[in-house]
Amino acid sequence: LSSFLTFFPSSTWRNKLHMEPSTVAAVASTISTTVRRRRRKIVVIMGATGAGKSRLSIDLATRFFGNSEVINSDKMQVYGGLDITTNKITMQEQLGVPHHLLGAVDPTESVFTPSDFRKLASEVIADVKSRRGLPLVVGGSNSLIYSLVTKRYDPKSEVFNGPDPDQVSSELRYDCCFIWVDVCLPVLNQYLSKRVDEMLDSGMFEELAEFFRSGEDKRVNKSGLGQAIGVPEFETYFKAFPGVRRSAGEGSDEAYNEAVRIIKDNTCQLAKKQVSKILRLRDAGWELKRIDATEAFRAVMTADSGGGRVAEIWEKQVVEPSVKIVKHFLDE
Ligand code: ATP
């Protein structure tokens, strides 16, 4: 409003434009509403684990919306430590895009709750907004997203769990553009199994070996980082074979394979649960824009498909529609 009045300071100007005072008031009010809405605008990228949320956020931030800053909404990735096991985006993959609440919480302290997230993430959003940035909330933990964006958050409400879940509130305190990256579950499950193998190849086993060897497993909060998929599953293994590397024989291979099998199973269960929570939000009236990334994942799983084909499908079916949605949202 003030910039409008600075631009049209005198009645002379308004007369020149043949504007009635009531028109001036209406225009000023529209501008002020637009400015207020812009201040509340955030983009939320949600989806099951492994669906490509981080990759999409980096694509949007580096190529289309250069003022973006990512706020992590994965409840295991907020803790420091176990970077491979919790599948945190690496510094190289971040491509210089600022990331917040990623590895920021001490895992030996009390459990990081949705209420903690509501408080910290809203402070970060205000900060990003003060820099005229675009906050991108990215992560699969729907309880965190819910706590952040609802107008009146009740920490005692059981929106996602319990035999008779509480009502989902659709009164939001931000103007949200929800992008739901979806991959049909059989395809995602196949990919998740491959991803676990890749995480193991890139050092997950060694990371967990050190975690147990150093006694870190006893220092972290059992209900916090101690719950990360990989920790409970490998506990039995490391109790039986402390410090033993894989393929040392003496039965360790069998225990190792069993731990990996359970990790894959639990990761697929996590994905399924996350999708059902997203559907719950959508059924309650949250306007989620669903982006189907299945074809890109199918291409990843096809042995003869080159990286170029995957990138092409990803671009056409995921990035392009997302850019359109975000542009439209920002122009509204
Ligand atoms: P919420 O349900 O609160 O939205 P969520 O969907 O991320 O969160 P849960 O359903 O609570 O997760 O988690 C199921 C299991 O998956 C838990 O043991 C949890 O700790 C684990 N988990 C969730 N995210 C990760 C991650 N990034 N890395 C490892 N384990 C994870």
**ipTM for this prediction:** 0.95
Token output for 1? 């409003």
Does residue 15 form part of some domain?
no
Q: Whose CA is nearest to atom 8 of ligand 1?
A: 141
Beta carbon of 76 within 6 Å of any ligand 1 atom: yes
Distance between CA 205 and CA 226 in Å, rounded?
15
- State which residues form the domain around 169: 38-190+265-331
The answer to whether residue 87 sits within a structural domain is yes
| Residue whose CB lies within 8 A of the most ligand 1 atoms, among 161, 208, 227, 235, for a mutation test | 227
Q: Is residue 323 part of a domain?
A: yes
Ligand 1 neighbourhood includes 87 CB (under 6 angstroms): yes
Name the closest-CA residue to atom 26, ligand 1.
Answer: 86
238, two tokens: 């490391």
CATH code (residue 325): 3.40.50.300
* DSSP secondary structure letter of residue 221: -
Q: Report how far ligand 1's centroid is from the alpha carbon of 122 (Å).
A: 21
Ligand 1 center to residue 267 CA distance, Å?
Answer: 9
Distance 270 CA to ligand 1 centre (A): 6
Identify the pLDDT of residue 162: 76
CB-ligand 1 contact for 74 (6 Å cutoff): yes
In a domain, 258, yes or no: no
Q: Return the structure tokens found at 45.
A: 């990228």
Written as one letter, the residue type at 37 is R
CB 313 within 8 A of CB 295: yes
In a domain, 231, yes or no: no
Residue ranges in the chain whose pLDDT is less than 50: 1, 4-5
* 24 domain-assigned: no
253 SS3 class: helix
Q: What are the tokens at 161? A: 């769990």
Burial state string for 241-262 with b = 16 or more CB within 10 A and e = fewer than 16: beebebeeeeebeebbeebbeb
Amino acid identity of residue 309, one-letter, is R
> With a 6 A CB cut-off, is 229 part of the ligand 1 pocket?
yes
CA of 99 to the centre of ligand 1 (A): 20
270 lines ligand 1 (CB under 6 A): yes
In a domain, 3, yes or no: no
Rounded Cα distance between 74 and 267, Å, is 14
Domain count, the chain: 1
Q: Give residue 248's pLDDT.
A: 55
Supply the pLDDT for residue 19.
72
pLDDT of residue 23: 75
CA distances (Å), origin 76, targets 42, 144, 175 = 22, 11, 26
CB of 50 within 8 A of CB of 195? yes
Ligand 1 nearest-atom number relative to CA 267: 16
By the 8 A CB rule, do 53 and 45 touch?
A: yes
- What's the confidence (pLDDT) of residue 252? 76
Asked if 179 and 325 touch (Cβ cutoff 8 Å), the reply is yes
* 31: in domain: no
